Structure 1
Amino acid sequence: MRVTVEVVGEGTHAVELDEPAESTYGDLLREVGLNRHEASVLVDGRPVPEDAPVEAESVRVLRLIKGG
C-alpha cells in the first residue's frame, strides 16, 4: 500500500507500506523522520492516534515542534 504523507510546510513523501494491515500512523511518522512527540497525523482534517492502523491513502502531518 502506498501512502502519501504531506508534512505541512515541508513537502510530500510517498511511503510504501510492506505490511499495511500491521502498520500504524506512528510508523508513517517514523518513515518521514518524525516521532509522535513532535508531530500529529491528520486524516480528513482530524487527528488520529499514532497506534491506530493505517487506513487512509493520504495523510497530513502537522509538526508541533520546530527548531529555531
Structure 2
Amino acid sequence: MQVTVEVVGEETREVEVGDDGTYADLIRAVDLSPHEVSVLVEGAPVPEDQPVEAPEVKVLRLIKGG
C-alpha cells in the first residue's frame, strides 16, 4: 500500500508499507523515532502499533532540537 506521509512543517514523502505494516513502520520510514512524534489520521491521533489503513497521514514532531 502506498501512503503519503506529511511531516508537518518539514516534508512529504510517499512510503510503501506491507499488508501488516503499522504506523510505527511509517515513522521509521521517514527516519524519525516513535518516541518523538504523534501520527494523525484525519486530525486524530492513532496508536503507533495499529495497522496502517489510511492512504494519507500527518506526522507531528513533539520534540524539536534547537
Pairwise TM-score range, normalised by the shorter structure: over 0.9
**What SS is found at the alignment partner of 1:47?**
strand
Size of the alignment, in residue pairs? Answer: 66
Structure 1 segments of 4+ aligned residues over 6 angstroms from their partners = none
In structure 1, list runs of 5 or more residues that go unmatched.
none
The answer to whether 1:29 aligns with 2:27 is yes
Tell me by how many angstroms 1:43 deviates. 0.1
Q: Percent identity?
A: 67
Rounded to whole Å, the distance in 2 between the matches of 1:26 and 1:7 is 14
RMSD of equivalent CA atoms: 0.6
TM-score w.r.t. length of structure 2? 0.96
What letter matches 2:8 in structure 1? V
2:59 aligned partner: 61
In structure 2, list runs of 5 or more residues that go unmatched.
none
